[in-house]
Structure 1
Amino acid sequence: MDKELSYGSDYKFIPTTSINSGLGLEVLPDLYSYTVQIVNFCLVGTPESKEFVLVDAGMPGSAEEILAVTEDRFGSGSRPKAIILTHGHFDHVGGIIELVNHWNVPVYAHELELPYLRGEKSYPEPDPTVEGGLVAKLSSYFPNEPINLSDRVQALPSDGQVPFMKEFRWVHTPGHSPGHVSFFRERDRALIVGDAFVTVKQENLYNVFTQEQEISGPPRYLTPDWDASYQSVKSLAALKPSVAVTGHGLPMEGDLLTNSLEKLVNEFHTIAVPAYGKYVDKNIH
């Protein structure tokens, strides 16, 4: 492993899982979602083309599983053109250093996310006091220190294009993190959400384990800006996506997605925003 690349000193395996761990779903012919423990990563590209990108990089310690899934879908020795990040929280970059070293590919993220990916700045600490279930209460054990990808990570193009994802454009969806992005394709209105909203109550241990599908805002224990989160959800709903692959929970599509997003926008204060917590600001508009 390159000496210049490093995880934060609080980086560690997180012993949480769900019934969907190990489940891969072909959402579209060129959009494959796979669950590692409690989080999803995406492979974007058709197996026939052999050209693809990896969106997000799983939980700590998941690199070998991501490699196995990638080779199972695209063939032995296959490697992506790049790794594209929705954001840099521990459960979305968990295997990234091993993957970067193995594949020798570039990493892209929003420019506001780069300090957290170059070892310069820690994310706000998770809030175990926030309203929610046991996962929220355990969140103080979750890593928040920055990883250091050095010059292996670079900013996404400012014009909204996504490298090697020709028809997708990135949409800035802050709130859960300053440089959080989602990816949207106009042709079929496919949306890769990240954690701007999710389809499981991520704070509740039972819901996380069973993966009971229910639209929700971003994970409460790691969301410091609820006003920005609300604006992000509104901007994604306005795109009228036909299918959404979220960072947590099962993909959602069709009328269920349309109606659920409309409900989330209209009832964001009660569905998404916790009743209490150190990052809660009741002046959301």
Structure 2
Amino acid sequence: MEFVQISSHIYKLTYKTIVGIPVKINTWYVLDGENVHIIDTGMKAYAHTQLNIVKSLGIPKSILLTHGHLDHINGAKYLRDNLNIPIYAHEIETPFINGEKPYPNKAEKETTGVEHQVESLSDNIIKKLPLDVYLTPGHTPGHVIYHHKDDNVLLTGDLFFSNAESLHPPIRKFTVDMGENINSGRIIDEIKPSIISSSHGEDVKYNCDLYPIYKFIYE
């Protein structure tokens, strides 16, 4: 397990777990004055660690989800119950998280533990955040990424997997529409972040060749 500060306002917790296969999971903590926003919650087994981290950083304000897959939401119930803070996701994603319908590539509805407790990211909520929110469908219909403009750091969830020098697509069996996901990745050339931080992998320094190479290989 590793806990590091990746920019002036953003901290990252990294740990390895088994989700069918061994996988590295990153979750983030974004400071906004005294307030702290949690970006994704990872697995329940690490929720107590997250609880201690967020309390040490400031006043817990909200949980912001990139999407509703297990490895991003499994700790949400524990954190919400112990912190009494709201959970937000994109309005396209909330029906899948809230157990109203299954993802298009799954037969069963999700069991998240926070069914009917996740609110949509309305314009009024987004205006109060220290982050810009971008819809990046493909991995899931309502997948989003978060951009901290002041630090110019992009938190990309499962839009990409990454290593220190390149981007790769998410696992195909968990992705609703891989072609749409790859097209959504073009957003990095509009934002041009200093750092791309994905949920699974290492942080990548942006350069203008990252997306064209990714698209050429995987499209």
Contact 2:40–2:73, Cα closer than 8 Å, also in 1: yes
Q: 1:259 corresponds to which residue?
A: 209
Which residue of 100, 112, 120 corresponds with 2:100?
A: 120
- The correspondence of residues 106-255 of structure 1 with structure 2, limited to 5 A, is 106-123=86-103, 124-125=105-106, 145-158=110-123, 162=126, 164-166=128-130, 168-200=131-163, 214-255=166-207
Report which of the two structures shows the higher radius of gyration computed on alpha carbons: 1
Aligned residues: 211
Question: Which of 30, 43, 47 in structure 2 is aligned with 1:44?
Answer: 30
What amino acid does structure 1 have at the position aligned with 2:153?
A
TM-score by length of structure 2 reads: 0.85
What is the CA-CA distance between 1:147 and the residue it aligns to? 2.0
Kindly state the Cα deviation for residue 266 of structure 1 after the two structures are TM-superposed: 3.3
Whole-angstrom CA distance in 1 between matches of 2:113 and 2:59:
22
The answer (yes or no) to whether the contact 1:40–1:248 under 8 Å persists in 2 is yes
C-alpha distance after superposition, 1:37-89 (max 9, x if no partner): 2211100006xx43110000012422112113323x41xxx541100000000
Q: Which runs of 5+ in 2 are unaligned?
A: 17-23
Higher strand share: 2
Higher relative contact order, structure no. (Cα contacts within 8 Å, ≥ 6 residues apart): 1
| TM alignment of 1:25-104, pairs within 5 A | 25-37=4-16, 38-45=24-31, 49-71=33-55, 73-74=56-57, 79-104=59-84
Give the Cα separation in 1 of the matches to 2:177 and 2:111: 19
Distance in structure 2 (CA, Å) of the matches to 1:61 and 1:164: 30
Deviation, 1:152, is 2.7
Taking only the aligned residue pairs, the percentage that are identical comes to 28
Deviations 1:114-161 (A, max 9, x none): 1122122233349xxxxxxxxxxxxxxxx97232524431111247x6
- Structure 1 spans left out of the alignment, 5+ residues: 1-21, 127-142, 201-211, 270-285
Which portions of structure 1, spanning 4 or more consecutive aligned residues, are displaced by more than 6 angstroms?
A: none
Over the residues paired in the alignment, what is the CA RMSD in angstroms?
Answer: 2.4
Q: Is the 8 A contact 2:172 2:178 kept in 1?
A: no
Q: Structure 1 residue 220: deviation in Å?
A: 2.1
Deviation of 1:188 after TM superposition, in Å, equals: 4.2
State the SS of the aligned residue for 2:93. helix
CA deviation digits over 1:93-116, x for unaligned, max 9?
Answer: 011101100000001100111112
Amino acid at match of 1:39: I
Measured after TM superposition, the shift of residue 227 of structure 1 is: 2.1
CA distance in 2, matches of 1:213, 1:248: 14
